[in-house]
Structure 1
Amino acid sequence: MHFDFSAALTLATFITGFIAAIYWLIKRLKKSQTARKEPLIVEYSKSFFPVLLFVLVLRSFIVEPFRIPSSSMMPTLLIGDFILVNKFSYGIRLPVVDTKIIDIGKPERGDIMVFRYPQNPSLDYIKRVIALPGDKVGYFDKHIFINGEKIIQKPLGLYKGVGQGENMTGALLQHEQLQAKEHEILIMQQRPSVEGEIIVPDGHYFMMGDNRDNSNDSRYWGTVPEENIVGKAFMIWMNWDADNKGVDWSRLGSIIQ
């Protein structure tokens, strides 16, 4: 069973706020001058409500933390990275219902984006935006083609993995550029790739992992609708990998490209 933290947080904020408000209203109506000890549930509600409200606003409209559980975004993001996601880059949405109320911006090619997995919206995925609505995107011979233009890769040598990503040692480390966004990707030449070409529907985005041969992405299950967008990843605030001596201090505070 999936635990919806956003829904639970919203419900807890509403309940504590409701209890505190009702008790305040009853006191006002009674206009009693006698000091009485507040019921325990009211004390807890008045104490927790501002904290819960602050967390709800912060998490729903400003920034939300996530942990990277897989190798699909290596070498950009490693297993054990804890990242921050900007919740307003692509518009402000109401919590739980995820209805956009203010349109601020749109995803751009090369952005690293968190979204709800189209085949199971209870799961959050993170991939790189490869193609935008209306683009013709193809993947052939380990290369991306956008509107007929081949995205050039430059070899950087062999990759050396660490910790839980050590099994990627020996993969080809390549430099790739999508518009103004430069980043590195991993390629395993000996592993066959899913190939094909599609036109991205309106209101959808084509997503791929930087670990091209170890990523469950749009090549397999299709495009991501705009309503599934969670936000834009922008910073690594912690890395913990027990297979790599715990905390990797060199990654703390790194800006995600």
Structure 2
Amino acid sequence: MYQYFILSGIFLFFEYIIHVLGTWKLCRKAGINFWKIFIPIYNIFILLKNYGRSIWYMILLLNPLTSIILLFILWIDLIRSFGKGTKKDIILLLFSAGIYIYYINFFEKIQFLKIEKIKKEDNTGILLSIIFSFITHTYIIQPFVIPTSSMEGTLLVGDFILVSKIHYGLRMPMSPISIPFTHNKIYKNIKSYISILQWPYFRFSPIQSIQRNDIVVFNFPKDFNHKIIDKKDHYIKRCIGLPGDLISIKEGVLFINQKKEKFFEKKQQAYFVKTENIPLNIEYLKNKMDIEDIELIEEKNDEYFYKIMLTEKKVIQIKNFFDNIVFIKKNIFPINYQEYSIFPNNYGWNRDFFGPLHIPKKGELIKLNLKNIHIYNEIITYEKGEKINVPSERYYKIKNNYYFMMGDNRHNSYDSRYWGFVPENHIVGKPIFIWMSIDWDRKNPLNLFNWKLRLNRIMKIIK
């Protein structure tokens, strides 16, 4: 905690130096007393007062990123009073990262004209709205869109959701300098943040702790393209395993602490479907029954074979509706089939026969041996910063809580079964609301003419 605020204070001090060096001559020409220019915070207050801006702008100093925004606002006001308020000047100031004000301050021979106080009818309201939106986006609620089908049928592709960042404890930003309203990229591999500066992890106390079966947004632990945690890609899954739990899957059925999971209506799995004489009415399945993942595997001798992602409820509905169905059965991998991409890679597990796997809990002692070192090596490497191939210590004390995440679309989800645990410091927030839902062509989502509103999902609370 103290590290975070100490670093923020150091950052603000450097901002103060940059601001004073870049503006002191201009401030003197504007008639501001010499001593007022050099007093931290008070010099900001003086400029706000002189240009008729609200003192509430001072709140922006509480955060490194918003403090940068405040400095640019003040600099724009200042150069305008010297006749440098054209669009060209403002663009030069922004795209030179503030260097332009140094040029004006030290090299331009300009005269002070007058202080133009900001009028209510100016763009102040728009500016404040943008700043307020940014603060809300960063610290309270952030919008997301569901891009994949891993959470069907709870969350659908094209659902626009709001995620609370305070339910599980507000995690303060770790990358202090980044482009507002972006995550980790501007375009392709161009990053939207400065990766050299990185703040330590700090989280406020949660309103509620993560409960089993909560839907959680988190940063993908295996995103190696971005080293700063809060800039790693966002994932959304259901938390089915809490710290200290024992997870296992047998014939596609999840067991938590050796107890079978409760019936979950929205859970989807892959089913093989065979019909004869007449194929399935795919248009009806998609439009009337909201079944999206349908794949025709084979057609032979008036027999049709499909693989479809279905809930148990929809399995019953299809059986009752189609008379030509020969069979519907789950696509369960055999126990002796090994998926090499399954975590921890060398245990011979697959998506339907997995575990038992213990989820590490903060403070517990893990007894290390040659059998489990492959499971906990990543955690030790992450926490200690060094890789252990052979356990030299008999026990290791876990420093963080970890979680096990799975998608509701169990056979079409890239989740903890494939890449392991989610550390507590990767947790972003809790989805609370669907404010918009669009059914688009998944092969061509940018084709606006094929968009359809899902009216029954708009303004819906996520339970």
Structure 1 length-normalised TM = 0.75
Is the Cα–Cα contact under 8 Å of residues 112 and 232 in structure 1 kept in the other structure?
Answer: yes
Whether 2:129 is the aligned partner of 1:51: answer yes
Whether 2:455 is the aligned partner of 1:249: answer yes
Alignment of 1:113-192 (within 5 A): 113-120=216-223, 122-153=232-263, 160-161=285-286, 165-167=292-294, 170-174=308-312, 189-192=330-333
* Higher strand fraction (1 or 2): 1
Alignment match, 1:17: 70
Pick one of 153, 178, 190 that aligns with 1:75. 153
Q: Call closer, same or farther: CA 1:83–1:23 in 2, change over 3 Å.
A: closer
Whether 2:211 is the aligned partner of 1:108: answer yes
Gapped regions of structure 1 (runs ≥ 5): 1-9, 28-33, 176-186
Alignment match, 1:201: 360
Distance, in Å, in 2 between the alignment partners of 1:38 and 1:62 is 32
* SS in structure 1 of the partner of residue 432 of structure 2: strand
Amino acid paired to 1:198 = L
Cα RMSD (Å): 3.6
* SS in structure 1 of the partner of residue 204 of structure 2: strand
Distance, in Å, in 1 between the alignment partners of 2:206 and 2:73 is 33
Distance, in Å, in 2 between the alignment partners of 1:149 and 1:79 is 31
* SS in structure 1 of the partner of residue 222 of structure 2: coil
Amino acid paired to 1:65 = P
* SS in structure 2 of the partner of residue 100 of structure 1: coil
Amino acid paired to 1:100 = R
Distance, in Å, in 1 between the alignment partners of 2:429 and 2:244 is 21
Cα distance, 1:173 vs. partner?
1.0
Gapped regions of structure 2 (runs ≥ 5): 1-62, 82-112, 176-200, 224-228, 272-284, 296-306, 314-327, 334-349, 362-400, 442-449
Amino acid paired to 1:196 = G
Distance, in Å, in 2 between the alignment partners of 1:110 and 1:136 is 15
* SS in structure 1 of the partner of residue 312 of structure 2: strand
Alignment of 1:217-228 (within 5 A): 217-228=415-426
Is the Cα–Cα contact under 8 Å of residues 251 and 332 in structure 2 kept in the other structure?
Answer: no
Distance, in Å, in 2 between the alignment partners of 1:94 and 1:124 is 16
Amino acid paired to 1:246 = K
Aligned residues: percent identity?
37
* SS in structure 2 of the partner of residue 237 of structure 1: strand
Amino acid paired to 1:72 = S
Is the Cα–Cα contact under 8 Å of residues 147 and 158 in structure 2 kept in the other structure?
Answer: yes
Cα distance, 1:234 vs. partner?
1.4
Q: Call closer, same or farther: CA 1:95–1:161 in 2, change over 3 Å.
A: farther
Amino acid paired to 1:167 = I
* SS in structure 2 of the partner of residue 83 of structure 1: strand
Cα distance, 1:155 vs. partner?
7.7
Alignment match, 2:115: 36
User: Whose RCO is larger (CA < 8 A, sep 6+)?
Assistant: 1
Alignment match, 1:215: 413
* Higher helix fraction (1 or 2): 2
Amino acid paired to 2:215 = I
Instruction: Work out which of the two has the higher radius of gyration on C-alpha atoms and give 1 or 2.
Output: 2
Distance, in Å, in 1 between the alignment partners of 2:72 and 2:125 is 11
Alignment match, 1:184: none
Distance, in Å, in 2 between the alignment partners of 1:221 and 1:253 is 33
* SS in structure 2 of the partner of residue 220 of structure 1: helix
Is the Cα–Cα contact under 8 Å of residues 133 and 200 in structure 1 kept in the other structure?
Answer: yes
Cα distance, 1:102 vs. partner?
3.3
Distance, in Å, in 1 between the alignment partners of 2:161 and 2:131 is 22
After superposition, the C-alpha distances for 1:90-146 in whole angstroms (9 at most, x for unaligned) are 002212456213343211011111000000152100000101000111111111111
After superposition, the C-alpha distances for 1:135-177 in whole angstroms (9 at most, x for unaligned) are 11111111111111111437899994457934288434137xx
Is the Cα–Cα contact under 8 Å of residues 79 and 165 in structure 1 kept in the other structure?
Answer: no
* SS in structure 2 of the partner of residue 35 of structure 1: coil
Distance, in Å, in 1 between the alignment partners of 2:262 and 2:203 is 36
Distance, in Å, in 2 between the alignment partners of 1:81 and 1:188 is 29
Amino acid paired to 1:250 = N
Distance, in Å, in 2 between the alignment partners of 1:80 and 1:172 is 19
Whether 2:429 is the aligned partner of 1:231: answer yes
Q: Call closer, same or farther: CA 1:126–1:188 in 2, change over 3 Å.
A: farther
